Amino acid sequence: MAAEIVNPRSDSTTGAGAGSAPDDAFDPAFALHRGGKMAIQATVPVRNKDDLSLAYTPGVAKVCSAIAEQPELVDDYTWKSNVVAVVTDGTAVLGLGDIGPEASLPVMEGKAILFKQFGGVDAVPIALGTTDTDEIIETVVRMAPSFGGINLEDISAPRCFEIERRLQERLDIPVFHDDQHGTAVVTLAALRNAAKLTDRALGQLRAVISGAGAAGVAIAKILIEAGIGDVAVCDRKGIVSADRSDLTDVKREVAGFTNKGGLTGSLEDALDGADVFIGVSGGTVAEAAVAKMAKESMIFAMANPTPEIHPDIAHRYAAVVATGRSDYPNQINNVLAFPGIFAGAMQVRASQITEGMKLAAAEALAAVVADELSADRVIPSPFDERVAPAVTAAVAAAARAEGVARR
């Protein structure tokens, strides 16, 4: 794991008096964020004129000329092969919603820190001053030569689906929307272990997902890829089914590969006899509906800060309970996935992150605690130092197996 990160600009005078933030002495969150949480750090010394002539002119010209003749050398002689752009438009930030690019920056800085701390990957936060899909795509395409990967973050659905798809079609570096795929990978890993703990296979389970946004759609896709028995996705109007006339293009696609049982009606209807509840929507599920789930059910209520089903209620009926919160066992935390996924993809200079690589990440993550399972331990802690190496190795191997690795 990386060394402790220290903010060199955290002195109390930096930016003093700006804005209307509470006094740092009384609010540790503002104290920590003052001056920002990141800084650029050189990896080579510049102590004298000889160092300067190598790091900059004239020595740098040799490297530039070599890259001009052989563009693939950029991965060897610049930071490109180990740096990710964390790109947002600020429209779907954590539980805050559309707060804009400036207000999203503390989250993007935090994401960059997590990349470094948990995966050894450098990352640069980039908040864009546009919500136009075409403008976002064109902007990212034009800055892509500086980066080895693009992590899309906190971009609202359904635009996030199109942005990711079109960027990956145009770029030969990994493009990954963490709100979708990071959540899906960790959810699948935890569900694999929960099924094992209750002596069932994924193929025997019927799941209900509350939420048809970025995370809900991605979870549904990865569960189907992993071989779950059936899954029904629900939005505010009920079960996403082919007989509905109000579906978006994305939801119509979801209806085509989910709900083999042909269920219709509400979320409560879908939960009747269901083995698994996965919440990525917020709101509250009535206890009466939870009580109708199958015996030894699994409840992953991941809305923050208030889970869709409170753990105290969930434990009355479920064999395994998970949330998105750090103060309860079995936290479904994206940091378990995205640092290792990018580290593995960039280690082999993969051109994309495939479904097979995501499945490999989930399997590796589940295996970390496969011999230590309990109802309160179906997923590792983010601070388990086995996680990133396991996910990195599995993703790199899967990239080679699928032919998307370039080394």
Q: Which of 80, 111, 221, 358 is catalytic?
A: 111
Write the single-letter amino acid at 167: L
Give the pLDDT of residue 25. Answer: 65
Ordered structural domains, the chain, with CATH: 79-173 (3.40.50.10380), 180-407 (3.40.50.720)
Q: What distance in Å separates the CA atoms of residue 407 and residue 404, rounded to the nearest whole number?
A: 9
Binding-site residues for (S)-malate sit at 304, 333
What contacts 197, CB < 8 A, 6 or more positions away? 319, 320, 373, 374, 375, 378
Using the structure block, give the residue that is written with the tokens 């003052």.
Answer: 34
Provide block-wise average pLDDT over 10 residues at a time, the chain (407 residues).
49 46 75 90 94 96 97 96 97 92 97 96 98 98 98 95 97 96 97 97 98 96 98 97 94 96 96 98 94 98 94 97 95 97 97 97 98 97 96 98 96
Sheet holding 122-127, edge to edge: 122-127, 83-88, 149-152, 175-177
Give the pLDDT of residue 196. Answer: 97
Q: What distance in Å separates the CA atoms of residue 305 and residue 323, rounded to the nearest whole number?
A: 10
Give the pLDDT of residue 15. Answer: 42
Q: Is 56 a catalytic residue?
A: yes
Write the single-letter amino acid at 230: D
Give the pLDDT of residue 27. Answer: 87
Give the pLDDT of residue 282. Answer: 86
Q: Which of 56, 62, 260, 295 is catalytic?
A: 56
* Token pair listed for 240: 């996403």
Give the pLDDT of residue 70. Answer: 97
SS3 186: helix
Find residue 301's DSSP bridge partners. Answer: 279, 323
Q: Is 111 a catalytic residue?
A: yes
| Nearest partner of 241 among 228, 258, 224, 225, judged by Cα | 258
Q: Please, are residues 344 and 392 in contact by the beta-carbon 8 Å criterion?
A: yes
Give the pLDDT of residue 3. Answer: 44
Q: Please, are residues 121 and 341 in contact by the beta-carbon 8 Å criterion?
A: no
**Residues across the chain:** 407
pTM for this one? 0.92
Give the pLDDT of residue 331. Answer: 97
Find residue 231's DSSP bridge partners. Answer: 207
* Helices within 43-100 (DSSP H only): 49-55, 59-69, 74-77
* Token pair listed for 168: 């990956």
| Nearest partner of 321 among 377, 253, 397, judged by Cα | 377
Binding-site residues sit at 153-154, 179, 304, 333
What contacts 350, CB < 8 A, 6 or more positions away? 174, 344, 357, 399, 404, 405, 406
Q: What distance in Å separates the CA atoms of residue 395 and residue 389, rounded to the nearest whole number?
A: 10
Report the number of secondary-structure helices (H) and strands (E) in the chain: 16, 10
Other C-beta atoms lying within 10 Å of the C-beta of residue 198:
20
